[in-house]
Amino acid sequence: MTTPNVIEAQESLRIPRQIERASTELKARFSSKLKLNSELTRALVSFQANKKLSGYRWFKFKEGFSYPLVEYVLNSLSVFSGKIIDPFAGSGTALFAASVRGMDAVGIEVLPIGCEIIRARKAALQNRRRITAAIQEWIKKKPWRNSKEEGIAFPHLRITAGAFSGDNEKQLESYLAALGQIRDKATESVLRLAVLSILEQISYTRKDGQYLRWDYRSGRCLGEKKFDKGKIEKFDDAIVNRLGQFSEDLEHRHDFFDQMTRGSGLGKIDVISGSCLEELPRLPSNSFDALITSPPYCNRYDYTRTYALELALLGTSEDLLRTLRQRMLSCTVENKEKGNLKEFYGSEDIERAEEIFESQKTLRLICEYLEKLRDNGLLNNPGILRMVRNYFWEMTLVIMECARILKPNAPLVMVNDNVRYAGVAIPVDLILSSIAEQIGFDVEAIWTLPIGKGNSSQQMGEHGREELRKCVYIWRTTKAKQAKRKGLELALQQ
């Protein structure tokens, strides 16, 4: 017999009709903009299409989009000149793709590993012959094997302790010591990227979105079910193979480095290390001709954990790791409200952003429902509500600043995913497009992929399967846009 408490819990989990109606109305509002694009594939809008491309295959930055996608988008929108920006630069794919076209590019990236990848690629481009020779010398002499220097201890964080076997950690430390003897900064940068790129291969860990998964051989395996990663590569084999790949790409491959060095028309690449919430307000108005980006999704992924090994090698302390987690766009349940935003935005900017944020009916109803579930202990993590609310609030500020720094009629291209919590599909694409419209963008199109994204097995078990849209948004600043410096109201009328 079903008890009243069970019935009450089941009723609480039933999605309110107000949310369903609001979501339907929002979808109807943008129905003419939702366009199936059969040329887009899941591989194209993810790292998958980069896996075999020289230069891009050097580091598996899975959260990024592909070089062919950037080419496709820029060609489709006839963007061939000017200056481009990516406020969530990741490993710099958009920057290098724009540079090939002769466009100057600026990226903002909060994670040190992203900045390191970009700097190393730039160093390889600017010093191709010298670095190729240095890599081949390292492959030949293997200085980490024969070094008389004492190894440099891997600077473990608590989250990374025990990540390597004794032999692998010893050879890794010898490599770091040999690296410390290099005086040429460009060569050092590329050789450091090589070892950064194999840390997962030689460790007991595997990146798994919200955390690192630990192989049972580490002694840190959580839960009753043992995780078997399979083959864990030996350091020597992994680093020689990776250095060989670097050498091959620099000397023989033609799909990246030859393109990037084929003439004097190469665009300049700059990377700003920091949070785009803090750095965008510092950039001049009306200064960019296009923007292409993929922000962190509202999916609970914690990059400070998945990239913990790489961040540790780069000298990230425990305190800095916590600071990085909070400076990132709110995309994990551990993100707190960012109380320092008024340091970067004028009071009128904040007020206008709050007005736009609070006017999103679908989002408000979803947050009210998640709050009810949380208060009744029916949300599997109470931090989900705070994450969802803060994600859209912070994105409102980001979109407002993007409107300001873009020139009139400039395109903004964004790759993002819709998400689902407690059975509720959150139409991230439509809510952000609604926010963008109110800020002053024209929503030109929301390209949808032919195949969407399934929800988690836990969600399917409780709420059934529902395919979520995977999208690329195309927004454009209006021709009569007069986005001004903070302290002045954005002109929203044409």
pLDDT tens digits in sequence order for the chain, 494 residues long: 445 444 444 455 578 999 999 999 999 999 999 999 999 999 998 888 888 888 889 998 888 899 999 999 999 999 999 999 999 999 999 999 999 899 999 999 999 999 999 999 999 988 999 999 999 999 999 999 876 668 899 999 999 999 999 999 999 999 999 999 999 999 999 999 999 999 999 999 999 877 889 999 998 866 678 899 999 999 999 999 999 999 999 987 555 555 555 545 789 999 999 999 999 999 999 999 999 999 999 999 999 999 999 999 999 999 999 999 999 999 999 999 998 998 999 999 999 999 999 999 999 999 999 999 999 999 999 999 999 999 999 999 999 999 999 999 999 999 999 999 999 999 999 999 999 999 999 999 999 999 866 554 444 444 455 789 999 999 999 854 443 333 333 333 33
Phi/psi at 446 (nearest 5 deg)? -120, 95
Residue 334 neighbours by CB distance under 10 Å: 18
Half-sphere exposure of 128 (CA within 13 A, CB side): 15
Look at phi and psi of residue 277 and say left if phi exceeds 0, alpha if psi is from -120 to 50, else beta: alpha
How far apart CA 243 and CA 34 sit, in angstroms, is: 45
The closest of 111, 162, 164, 429 to 301, measured between CA atoms, is: 111
Alpha-carbon distance of 328 to 296, in angstroms, equals 9
Q: Are 74 and 80 in contact (CB under 8 A)?
A: yes
Reference 114, options 44, 61, 48, 57; nearest CA is: 61
Q: CA 443 to CA 449: how far, in whole Å?
A: 17
Identify the helix (H) or strand (E) that includes residue 7.
helix 4-13
Q: Where are the beta strands (DSSP E) in 29-175?
A: 34-36, 83-86, 104-109
| Nearest partner of 136 among 252, 56, 25, judged by Cα | 252
Give residue 64's pLDDT.
85
Report in angstroms the alpha-carbon separations of 363 from 207, 336, 370.
31, 19, 10
- Integer Rg of the chain from CA: 24
The pTM assigned to this predicted structure is 0.90
User: What token pair was written down for 133?
Assistant: 């020779």
Spell out the alpha helix ranges (H) of 381-420.
Answer: 383-405
Please give the pLDDT value at position 467: 87
**Rounded to an integer, what distance in angstroms lies between the CA atom of residue 159 and that of residue 212?**
9
DSSP class per residue in 188-247: HHHHHHHHHTTTTTTBSEEE-SSSEEE-GGGT---SSSPP-------HHHHHHHHHHHHH
